[in-house]
Amino acid sequence: MQPAFPYRIKGQQLWLSADRCIYWEEERSLIVSDLHFGKTGHFRKAGIAVPQSVYREDLLRLLCQIQYFRPRQLLVVGDLFHSRENKELELFLKWREDFPHLGIELIEGNHDILHKDWYEKAAIRVNPGVLTLGPFSFVHDIEEAAASNTYYFSGHLHPGIRISGMGKQSLRFPCFYFGSEYAILPAFGRFTGTVSIDPAPQDHVFAILPPANGVPRVGAPRGRLPMGGVRTPARDMGERNRPVTRPRSAGWIGPGSIFRIQ
């Protein structure tokens, strides 16, 4: 796995990980979004064969990021869990016992529907709406952000960027998106799709290549256009191939790496 990619914004030092999370150095906080824990169990309950190993691997990835960065708190920008309580969430509670001193702040997402007693049992503080820390605010869906001078971090869209080669072949990868007013985090959970974004020339985009045993997902859901307020880069229909000839990387470009598109 490639070392984290340094990125500064609003005078703060961020480290972008190819494991789809951000370490905020000044606040010693690990920022993640859209983990959708329990989703594979939800599908299995509906009779759809999805291996539990997918969920266990996501838990292991999160554990590795916590051990690497050693944050004081975990900031979850919505959709920590996918649906109602199931056996997979019991495994999460056991996982939580290994990090009793790690604070977890959850910015409530549309999938976070568990009873408040469950969050208290898991020592998770739930923040409905917006959480503001220093120069940043965190909201699950950027369309729900209020106009302000703060810089927003959001999730929900599962952003992806399409990269085209010389032979008309193309692949779509999850990505970090940084605009002038807000950022959108990639979905941490691997059992999720991506929505193609259409960044403006001045925006910054970092694509994430999957590890050697991963497979880029295709057939992602279509985005939706905002009904006013903050502009979102998700396209409602269709995609535009983006030729990329010399992406900028913190090192080598290969499986399990992150590189800057623009």
Contact 113, 79 (CB under 8 A): no
**pLDDT for residue 65:** 96
Q: Which pLDDT tens digit goes with each residue over 160-210?
A: 998 877 777 788 899 999 999 999 999 998 867 788 999 999 999 999 988
Predicted TM-score (pTM) of the model is 0.79
Q: How many domains does the chain have?
A: 1
Tokens of 99: 């990090």
> How would you write the pLDDT of the chain (262 residues) with one tens digit per residue?
578 999 999 999 999 999 999 999 999 999 999 998 875 555 445 454 455 566 788 888 999 999 999 999 999 998 888 566 667 788 889 889 999 999 999 999 886 778 889 899 999 999 999 999 999 999 999 998 987 889 999 999 999 998 877 777 788 899 999 999 999 999 998 867 788 999 999 999 999 988 765 433 332 333 332 323 333 344 333 333 343 433 454 445 667 889 899 8
Task: Provide the residue range defining the domain that includes 187.
Answer: 5-260
Amino acid in position 71: P
**pLDDT for residue 167:** 72
